Amino acid sequence: MRFYIRIHFNFLFFCFQEVQVLKSLILGEEERGQSQYQVMCFIFHFPKDSFISSDAMAKLRQKNPSTIRTPEDDLGRTNHTMDYVVVLKHSGIISPHIADMCAEAGMATYTVHEDVVKWAAVQDIPIESYKPALKRFPTRSFLSNDVAESTLANCSDIKNMWTPCECHLELCIGWYPCGLKYCKGKGQTKNSVMSYRCGIKTCKMCHLFAYYVSQKQQCLWDE
């Protein structure tokens, strides 16, 4: 089966919130009855210590932009089980950029319960303040404040194209600036060593998302 994923990704850091958004566009499979594309947004926590300052980014210059880049560090894969659909008109409490960036995604904008807890702590507001912005999946049952279980079958395990299921989608960012690079040089005295900023470190990172779809037809690649 052929499917194509075009990924737009942005690192968002606003009002001391730690928010990362991955936006994906997947072209339809015409031979399987899909004439249009799908757009999804995945919103999750972005560690503060991974943030690169704007002044450092402004100095980044990429020579030979057509060259295939090899990342210095492979950060592996992070799994995310999405618990909520984000209601775009109320998404400003998470980030003011989400409504515009994810406008095409509509009800296919997702986030994770444990990350909502982290954002509430960063903002020092009750987690209940996020309630208007979140719609829980009908098959997600919370056992405690931060643990949830799914009563939904994996899309790969069912045959009926119109049955709800849990879809899986892996998105990989093959090369991106992920931190500052420091080099060592001679210090002011004969035997001393000093560290200085000498560039920007690059990384590779993959994310595997598990999320609810109302019908397997929306998840044909998960087979």
**Per-residue tens of pLDDT for the chain, all 223 residues:** 344 444 444 444 443 578 888 988 888 776 666 667 889 999 998 877 776 776 766 666 666 767 777 898 999 999 999 999 999 999 999 998 899 999 999 899 999 999 999 999 988 999 999 999 999 876 555 444 444 555 688 999 998 989 999 999 998 888 888 888 888 877 677 777 888 877 788 889 899 999 999 999 888 887 7
| Alpha helices in 109-177, H assignment, sequence order | 113-123
Q: Which residue has the tokens 């560090």?
A: 73
Secondary element (H or E) of residue 23? strand 17-26
Task: Give residue 142's domain range.
Answer: 5-218
| Alpha helices in the chain, H assignment, sequence order | 54-58, 98-101, 113-123
Domain membership flag for residue 51: yes
Secondary element (H or E) of residue 99? helix 98-101
Domain membership flag for residue 223: no
Domain membership flag for residue 100: yes
For the residues of 32-59, what is the DSSP string, one character each? GT--S-EEEEEEEE--GGGPPPHHHHHT
Number of domains in the chain: 1
The tokens for 200 are: 């920007």
11, amino acid identity: F
Q: Judge contact between 194 and 184, C-beta under 8 A.
A: yes
